[in-house]
Structure 1
């Protein structure tokens, strides 16, 4: 089980590095959003490669697809929005404020998602400690972003 936390740790490190890489690509290409296509192609190839190697790549049948909630199909649009903000904003405000705001917004939102059991998450009450932790993250990112 601990290796899963290690994988998330590596993803967090990649999440901090990726905006700079994507922003540089956006700056150096004739049009910044063209970098999004390069990023999307890299994402597609990564998922396809891992899926094929692991044997975990299969398209759903029509009946299976019809059973999936409508909102589950638009997660890629949200991912696209994240990449677009990396391409257009991250370099301008800096790595620390960008990632601090991104992560803090994600944690605060996830407290609500867990509390109400929205978008497929199991319900976990928003305890005083969770709320306090979210508040401390807001305070911390404000210090990082405003200094």
Structure 2
């Protein structure tokens, strides 16, 4: 979900609420539902999904940007809050990924964007994002907590 909208648009607050509900509150609700099981395991792992947009900003998508920044804040806050329960909380920030959200973008536009902005000059496949996530749930990763990992082929570094 992402929608281009100016802050002075009449439907801005409706768009804002929808983005927060879907992109931030849904993750919070999921974590709350899983928390009893994670606590009883003594070594739970939470991996939130944000976006490179949570590490930066793009004009006219501020509801999306704010929600993704919120996911990163949620991750960091819960990493501290849940650590004593043996639960780690980390976050993946995918960049340009071939997903249902991007499938309707014209291929030519995707190629132009990738060549101009992504150092590896291509969109990621979903499996590549999954591999980044896997790093946080391995037993050997039990000391990684509160981390925010861009899986973006260097997009955030290039555009910093």
TM over 0.5: no
Structure-1-length-normalised TM-score: 0.31
In terms of fraction of residues, the more strand-rich structure is 2
Structure-2-length-normalised TM-score: 0.29
